[in-house]
Structure 1
Amino acid sequence: MSSSSDDDAPLARKAPNGVTKTKDRILGAKTDRRPSTNGTAYPGVSIRHGPVDEDGDSPMKDPSHVNGAALGKRRSRGSLTNGKSYKDLSDSEEADNKPLTKRRKTSKVLVDSDDEDDIPLVRKAKLPPRVDARQFGNSSDDDVPLNKKLANEKAKIEKRAEQTAEAIKSDAKKLKKKATVEESESEDDVPLVRKKPVSKATTNGVKSSAAAKKAKSKAKPEPAVAPKKSAKKKAEEEMEEEEDEAAAEEEFKWWEQPVQGDGTKKWTTLEHNGVVFPPPYQPLPKSARLIYAGTPVTLPPEAEEIAGFYGAMLHSTVNVENPTFNKNFFEDFQAKLDDVGHGVDAKGNKIKIKRFEDCDFTKIHEYYVNEREKKKNRPAAEKKAEKAEKDEAEAQYMFCTWDGRKQKVGNFRVEPPGLFRGRGDHPKTGRVKKRVNPEQITINIGKEAKVPDPPKGHHWKEVKHDQEGTWLVMWQENINGAYKYVMLAANSDIKGQSDFKKFEKARELKKHIARIRKDYTKELKSEVMADRQRATAIYLIDKFALRAGNEKGEDEADTVGCCSLKFEHVTLKPPNTVVFDFLGKDSIRFYDEFEVDQQVFKNLKIFKKAPKSEGDEIFDRLTTSALNKHLSTYMQGLTAKVFRTYNASWTMASLLRDMKSTGTIAEKVKDYNDANRKVAILCNHKRTVAASHGTQIEKMQEKINGLRYQKWRIKMMMLDLEPKLKKKKGADYFKLDEDLTPEWLEQHQAALVEEQRQKITKKFEKDNEKLVADGQKPMKQKELDERLEVATDMAKKFKKENKTKKVEAEGKGASVDKFEANLDKLDQRIETMRVQLQDKDDNKEVALGTSKINYIDPRLTVVFSKKFNVPIERFFSKTLREKFDWAIKSVDEDWEF
């Protein structure tokens, strides 16, 4: 099984070619005898959110030491493999004949112990926190442990998937057999009377309206002489025909047509007007200067703009208190100063900026804060006029003509310059995103179309006529060297078809999943090392939704996926627990603890076996391209990432099939979100808790407390009308809740008074604007003062209530019955808000949007909406409703994934 090329490589740099049955059995015996060190996890379920030190701190406080690797983000694919695709590399004989060591980076021998791999790395041997039951919509006091319950649920879903695949396979065999029998019967034996003509215009048993009209017209006898029509009537009929054709074009439902294979040519004709560039930089006023070591400094405009980027975001503490952000910003700021010249003081003396600590950006920050407030407080008419002017200027860029059809363009604006933030602990956060010039822009347009004019004095980098591309404009950004594209809008036919095909491909996978799982389970014990590694990787991708990962150049950050996992990213804890700790997509840390199949645990132990050590790859005989090439033998177009879409959609479909959602709309939405949360957790879609989460929860709780206060006031009004109710209902019924303290009461009442004042003031300003627009004189300040007396009276009333502990009945025709009806309404509102608060808090660490938008087939959300009578607006925003218009219109409540 070994090749000569492999023999040339040092043993420390690769796994052996094969694994004998004897060796596999010995390693398994060693592993099986180990006692369990963790009784909290169950197969197929992760322990999330990372390890915690004894003092409660997270080791991610210093992100530079995660796994002993620097943080970073992968480059664009074009920068990898020197222009060659992974497919080209894996298919070429030259690549196959090269020793693995020359294709994969590995490290020197550091360890030579058979048992070393079984011992968790010291820096990783910290216990993660337990999973909160509320994240799954369960109570923490259930008899069955939460992890086991979720694992059992996932196992049941996978079993159902395999049964479905077998059923589909069985039905296909029956249909094929039936078709063979029917073909064997002679068609000549069938009487002509029984034969029915089949219309060519029929698709899937449904005749097209055009064919139906044609058949109907043929059935009617034509008159011998056609009656003459007046010119006016003829023109009207022609206009009606044109309107019918236009309506038919608008109502074209492409999703009902047979799925076409992806061809190379995406369009024949393409016209558009290019992009909109951000406005040029406007220098800051003299009052907004950078203060360096106590001295106001005047900077060159190019450097001042960068200082402005930082000053404008001083309020964003999550960034400006990040040492990496500050370090990167100041490096780029100094580089620009060295290029265009440093600042000068009021006397013209040169001031060289050397230390970040001596820079004071507060004057710049104050200027931008004031400008934002001025813009926010402008009259509504002025804002409206500005928006109309902007829309008119950009109207020509909003649409393009694609093969004769008008299509909406996505983001046609070039991103303005600023400071890069990045996701997660990105190593380049704080770097300056440079202004994009027309000379960096490549235009893609039809040969016959007019090329849009660049800004005066500039030219485009290049004009292409790439009919295989669906992009209109392209440029390369300076931070990661990635390419940015202007594409069609999400609700365009082209984008919709792309989403449709993605989810249809995932649906197709359900026919093959049982065979794929059966094969890779068998290959987990293969004597060929490459096959065993591939089977283990597919297992991890399928069971735990790991991304496949791509190979990267030596100068790129250590962001990895399944195929590129390294020695230090995997810790083995006998008997079968595996800890993954690495930087994933967008430099976001992936930390999870899984219990895996016993054979998988043994395989990982073999793949980590000495002389491998830190820096060496776990799957050193596997590439992403080779993995995808193998998967495509099961199904055309199948790649590793299709598993994520399939598993998310199939899990959601299974949960919805068993769901019985009842109650209010809010409760039904929570049921949907609970199911979505399970999908997100099982698919590892997590996010960091938003900095504003605590504030949002407090605001929601404050609103609930305000409603509880309203309830108390209404009860006191009832008592004002009928004092005898106190004896009838009991004194406790009329008590204010203990947590609504006198201090809280005063603050809340003051807030209500202020809210009333603002409402009156805004109404006054709006009325004045309307008067001015109609050519009338605006109202005077005296009118506003009179209106504000309502708020003053409210404050006096609250003061009196606090003193007397009584509330006078308010409202027209006040009665106890009316007040009791109001209490019922308030109870419903409170319960709805409590459900929403709980839902929001449960979802704080789970990216429900990622699952719902990118991985769960949107038709499943539509099914839930229709099945349980919940408005689709509760799940999809206006933008998403446009994006998934095809899904909303194409299924009913009985549709199945």
Structure 2
Amino acid sequence: MSGDVSMLSSDDDKPLKPRAGPSGRNGHVAQNGHSHSRAIQSSSEDEDMPLSQAARKSEPATPRPAKRKQPSFTSSSEDDTPLASSPAKRTASAAVSMPGAIEATATRVATANGKRKGSKKKVDTDSEFDDDVVPASTAKRATNGRTRKAPPKKKVKQESDVESEDSDDKPIAKKAAAARKRNVKQESDADDSDDDKPLKKPPAKKAAKKVATKKSVKNESSSEAPKSKRSATKAKSEETDGAVKKAKKKKEEEEEEVFRWWEEQDPDGDGTQKWRTLEHNGVYFPPPYEPLPSDVKMKYNGKFVNLPPESEEVAGFYAALLETDHARDKTFNKNFFDDWQKVLKKNPPRDGTKITNFELCDFRPMYDYFETEKAKKKALTTAEKKELKAKKDALEAPYTHCFLDGRKEKVGNFRVEPPGLFRGRGDHPKKGALKYRVRPEDIIINIGDGVPTPKPNMPGKWKDVIHDNTVTWLANWTENVNGNHKYVFLAAGSSIKGQSDMQKFEKARELKNHVDRIRADYSRDLKAKVMQDRQRATAMYFIDRLALRAGNEKGEDEADTVGCCSLRCEHITLQPPDKLIFDFLGKDSIRYYNQVDVDEQVFKNIRIFKDNKEDEDDLFDRVGTASLNKHLQSYMKGLTAKVFRTYNASITFQQQLDQGTPEKGTVQEKLNAYNHANRMVAILCNHQRAVPKTHEQSMGKMREKLRGFKYERMKLRHALFAIDPKYKKNKKYSADESDLDDDAIAEQEEQLKAKEIEKVEKKFAKDNEKLAEDGKEPLKESVLKERLQEVEAEFKRLKKERGTGKHQLKRDRPTDKIEDAIEKLDEKIKVFKLQMEDREAGKEVALGTSKINYLDPRITAAWCKKHDVPIEKIFSKTLLTKFPWAMEVEDEWKF
């Protein structure tokens, strides 16, 4: 205890307000609630930013007046004064501060300017679905007497920029040797299988063998040990040496030589031919539905219902979600029940029950069964879990990799999504709809000409087999809910994906050469006499300064989310003399709320654009995303509004790092500076989220751990005082821990005592298990009692020490060792406080999205090299695999 007391946890900080969670229900759930949308992504951030994602709470909408009052002013574009600001400096970010952005939530909110009609719905350019999804059709809409047509749909989508924000974004705990070397090795997430054998084996390493041999020689040369002991040691050493060799051989077989495409003179990326040969095994279909046991049935009007497998499967989809927010959402429930009715019509209950009222359905028996099965899986032993995983991996192994131009490349999403209920993002009108089971007849396979056609792992034939080497997808199909195309691409770490990522960031860097001219032009056009040019210039101002998505039109059956070009008059409130208040739902129904001071001319333009319009009318009624992007193409090939967003995110990040990184700070202080810069970008790009439900619990544990550090430091100080009272006069040790009063000390010692008792009891049980295995008599209960009495005596002694300012260590230590221990604790406390501040600051911001999609990874790689920060503290194993090309930059590289 005391000086060598184990580090526990507790807190000296004021607790945050707890967030109330949804209450569970028995039986079916009434349709009296409104489910909220999922938050943004990622990646789990609990241990090293970003924090784990959480669902947002809904906000009640407030009524709006029918019409807006007409503003009283006289406008004349000819009388307008020119902009005061000059064109921005090259490579500088035009992003402005965003007060109020942190309050953004993923919920439908009451807008500031009054009501809007639900008939006009729009969305931002970045679809609310994954980038692997392409809308099946585009929309036309009449606007103020004209028809605006969305850009024609491409035949196929080549690449996806958006990655899911999940646990893959957790930084790895230990430093991977490959990440710091020039010759970066691509690490595979897949488990061992024949398909994982490298095409070219790397040279064998000898370091491990040398260590083992040295150890063996040392053991053999020990003359003092008995002969039998030396023999045993030698045998053990040889066994260890053999194990090292075996492990080394296995590692060599698993490693694959990375294709260093970024060092080629002309990597494939010109938009034409993407590959020469392509061979793969198709996609992996989920197993067929297994009916529930005969005694597990749902109830209708209090009676059990005998459902056929087809109807039972759909009922099970809903039952599994019974205790989630989805089952409390009226739209979700309605869409589920409507689709289930169609299935029931084709596959009615065997006992003749007529299911017509959702309120009379009780899915609780099915839910309880699913929970019991989950508990059984969780209770499996480690060996059983490994066996199940091995069987699953063996089934999936043929689909995890393909051969592209003779190279073995990892496939990304090779699994076909199983049937289920559509959840959507945000307040999607189709949430709860039934997603049908995808079959081979629904899928088009893309493969090299002349190679064997893969066979599906379920009965059926492919819809079509094509040989198109101008696209990078391996398979595609159309999902039934929204009619969107789903694609199977190569994994993030593949050469094709890497080239796409690199080209994206290089395109953003190229914008540096044109941005001054573009800004000068749109600043001049803010006063243009032609209203279309003036609206386009104002939209470009918002896209450049606020990093807004361009926005696009959308239909009635999609969530009402908007971007810059699809803003309605209700979404912007004028606050004289020069402030605009933005309030709308952006991508994924994330609320964008921002108060921005703008140029005088921009303020005047918005007032003109809103004149004589209703709240639900378009703000930019003469500008669309197609015309805007066409205008941008005149400045630079491939320039779109999204390139501006990537450019501003990366240049802002570079500037924040350059300004905020302490040259002589600790690693944790530098990491805090990195995360602060990342947060600035996340706020700029509106990558907001609700505070995770586990945040307060997590912070509580951290506060307890901090209190444990302080308690240990206090005991070490008191040990010094007991040895030599002169230490009380030393300022370094004389001051008490201000937040450790008698109550806090008592609580800390109670927690330590409980932990010590648990430790003793576990050790006693483990000792008896070992004795039983050896066929010996177990220890008597009196032994346990004696050990527990020792614990009680120790904590009684600690209790007596309270208030004395002295402490007796369990093992005597010299004062210099105690001083060193205190110094180490001081550093540990300092670092831990920084970690707590970092986590608290990032609770409402999702850092993973910008890190994966908008920040040039070379900025991070160069920064880590320059400031001696292990990149594994920031990039997860997945990101290191995704961005091997970025690890090659020098420490002086700048975006």
TM-score (norm 2): 0.69
In structure 1, which of residues 294, 297, 301 is the aligned counterpart of residue 309 of structure 2? Answer: 301
Equivalent position of 2:510 in the other structure: 508
In structure 1, which of residues 1, 8, 23 is the aligned counterpart of residue 76 of structure 2? Answer: 23
Are positions 1:490 and 2:486 aligned together?
Answer: no
Equivalent position of 1:866 in the other structure: 865
Equivalent position of 2:355 in the other structure: 352
Does the 8 A contact of 2:299 with 2:305 survive in 1? yes
Are positions 1:101 and 2:102 aligned together?
Answer: no
Does the 8 A contact of 1:705 with 1:740 survive in 2? no
The Cα of 1:642 is off from its aligned counterpart by 0.3
Equivalent position of 1:79 in the other structure: 136
Partner Cα distance (1:331, 1:761) in 2: 59
Compared CA separation, residues 742 and 814, structure 1 to 2 (3 A): closer
Compared CA separation, residues 350 and 857, structure 1 to 2 (3 A): same
Equivalent position of 1:137 in the other structure: none
Compared CA separation, residues 727 and 353, structure 1 to 2 (3 A): farther
Partner Cα distance (1:439, 1:581) in 2: 45
Does the 8 A contact of 2:122 with 2:562 survive in 1? no
Bigger mean CA deviation after superposition, 463-472 or 67-76: 67-76
The Cα of 1:797 is off from its aligned counterpart by 5.0
Compared CA separation, residues 739 and 503, structure 1 to 2 (3 A): farther
Flag the structure with larger Rg.
Answer: 1
Partner Cα distance (2:394, 2:830) in 1: 46
Partner Cα distance (1:49, 1:708) in 2: 36
Q: What SS does the aligned partner of 1:641 have? A: helix
Q: What SS does the aligned partner of 1:582 have? A: strand
Compared CA separation, residues 389 and 537, structure 1 to 2 (3 A): same
Q: What SS does the aligned partner of 1:572 have? A: strand
Partner Cα distance (1:67, 1:475) in 2: 36
Partner Cα distance (1:877, 1:894) in 2: 23
Compared CA separation, residues 656 and 712, structure 1 to 2 (3 A): closer
Does the 8 A contact of 1:428 with 1:479 survive in 2? yes
Does the 8 A contact of 1:43 with 1:596 survive in 2? no
Partner Cα distance (1:518, 1:351) in 2: 69
Compared CA separation, residues 753 and 99, structure 1 to 2 (3 A): closer
Identity of aligned residues (%): 47
Deviation digits for residues 464-512 of structure 1 (CA, Å, limit 9, x no counterpart)? 2222210111122233322221111111111000000000011110011
The Cα of 1:743 is off from its aligned counterpart by 7.5
The Cα of 1:515 is off from its aligned counterpart by 0.5
Report the residue type matching 1:748 in the other structure: Q
Does the 8 A contact of 2:422 with 2:431 survive in 1? yes
Q: What SS does the aligned partner of 2:544 have? A: helix
Equivalent position of 1:846 in the other structure: 845
Partner Cα distance (1:417, 1:58) in 2: 27
Partner Cα distance (1:339, 1:791) in 2: 69
Does the 8 A contact of 2:269 with 2:499 survive in 1? no
Does the 8 A contact of 1:560 with 1:585 survive in 2? yes
In structure 2, which of residues 530, 538, 541 is the aligned counterpart of residue 539 of structure 1? Answer: 541
Counterpart mapping for 1:106-117 below 5 A: none
Counterpart mapping for 1:144-543 below 5 A: 250=258, 252-255=260-263, 257=265, 262-285=270-293, 288-316=296-324, 318-342=325-349, 350=353, 352=355, 354-356=357-359, 358-543=360-545
Partner Cα distance (2:809, 2:311) in 1: 63
Compared CA separation, residues 722 and 578, structure 1 to 2 (3 A): same
The Cα of 1:781 is off from its aligned counterpart by 11
Equivalent position of 2:657 in the other structure: 656
TM-score (norm 1): 0.69
Does the 8 A contact of 2:683 with 2:845 survive in 1? yes
Are positions 1:48 and 2:100 aligned together?
Answer: yes
Q: What SS does the aligned partner of 1:60 have? A: coil
Does the 8 A contact of 1:471 with 1:487 survive in 2? yes
The Cα of 1:546 is off from its aligned counterpart by 0.8
In structure 2, which of residues 536, 550, 554 is the aligned counterpart of residue 548 of structure 1? Answer: 550
The Cα of 1:294 is off from its aligned counterpart by 4.1
Compared CA separation, residues 350 and 313, structure 1 to 2 (3 A): closer
Deviation digits for residues 806-854 of structure 1 (CA, Å, limit 9, x no counterpart)? 6975555544443443333233222222211111111122222122211
The Cα of 1:742 is off from its aligned counterpart by 7.0
Q: What SS does the aligned partner of 1:79 have? A: coil
Partner Cα distance (2:614, 2:115) in 1: 17
Deviation digits for residues 356-389 of structure 1 (CA, Å, limit 9, x no counterpart)? 3x44444433333332233223222222222233
Does the 8 A contact of 1:444 with 1:472 survive in 2? yes
Are positions 1:586 and 2:588 aligned together?
Answer: yes
Partner Cα distance (1:438, 1:698) in 2: 51
Bigger mean CA deviation after superposition, 598-607 or 809-818: 809-818
The Cα of 1:47 is off from its aligned counterpart by 2.8
The Cα of 1:68 is off from its aligned counterpart by 5.2
Report the residue type matching 2:709 in the other structure: L
The Cα of 1:520 is off from its aligned counterpart by 0.9
Equivalent position of 2:741 in the other structure: 738
Bigger mean CA deviation after superposition, 815-824 or 513-522: 815-824
Compared CA separation, residues 311 and 802, structure 1 to 2 (3 A): farther
The Cα of 1:855 is off from its aligned counterpart by 0.8
Bigger mean CA deviation after superposition, 66-75 or 646-655: 66-75
Are positions 1:571 and 2:573 aligned together?
Answer: yes
Q: What SS does the aligned partner of 1:838 have? A: helix
Partner Cα distance (2:509, 2:722) in 1: 65
Does the 8 A contact of 2:102 with 2:845 survive in 1? no
Deviation digits for residues 762-793 of structure 1 (CA, Å, limit 9, x no counterpart)? 9889x98xx9xxxx968899479899889846
Equivalent position of 1:153 in the other structure: none
Compared CA separation, residues 727 and 804, structure 1 to 2 (3 A): farther
Q: What SS does the aligned partner of 1:590 have? A: strand
The Cα of 1:881 is off from its aligned counterpart by 0.3
Does the 8 A contact of 1:104 with 1:620 survive in 2? no
Q: What SS does the aligned partner of 1:859 have? A: helix
Does the 8 A contact of 1:726 with 1:734 survive in 2? no
* Structure 1, gaps ≥5 residues long: 1-20, 33-41, 87-94, 106-246
Partner Cα distance (1:674, 1:822) in 2: 31
Compared CA separation, residues 706 and 428, structure 1 to 2 (3 A): farther
Does the 8 A contact of 2:280 with 2:401 survive in 1? yes
Compared CA separation, residues 895 and 374, structure 1 to 2 (3 A): same
Compared CA separation, residues 285 and 593, structure 1 to 2 (3 A): same
Equivalent position of 1:638 in the other structure: 639
Does the 8 A contact of 1:718 with 1:815 survive in 2? no
The Cα of 1:46 is off from its aligned counterpart by 2.4
Bigger mean CA deviation after superposition, 654-663 or 532-541: 654-663
The Cα of 1:674 is off from its aligned counterpart by 1.0
Counterpart mapping for 1:791-870 below 5 A: 792=788, 796-797=792-793, 800-801=796-797, 804-805=800-801, 809=808, 812-870=811-869
Equivalent position of 2:890 in the other structure: 892
Instruction: Considering fraction of residues, name the structure with more helix.
Output: 1
Does the 8 A contact of 1:442 with 1:464 survive in 2? yes
Query: Larger relative contact order (C-alpha < 8 A, sep ≥ 6)?
Result: 2
What is the alpha-carbon root mean square deviation over aligned residues? 4.2
Does the 8 A contact of 1:49 with 1:591 survive in 2? yes
Compared CA separation, residues 362 and 495, structure 1 to 2 (3 A): same
Q: What SS does the aligned partner of 1:895 have? A: coil
Partner Cα distance (1:385, 1:609) in 2: 69
Report the residue type matching 1:511 in the other structure: N
Compared CA separation, residues 394 and 764, structure 1 to 2 (3 A): farther
Equivalent position of 2:16 in the other structure: none
Does the 8 A contact of 2:761 with 2:784 survive in 1? no
The Cα of 1:872 is off from its aligned counterpart by 0.4
Does the 8 A contact of 2:106 with 2:426 survive in 1? no
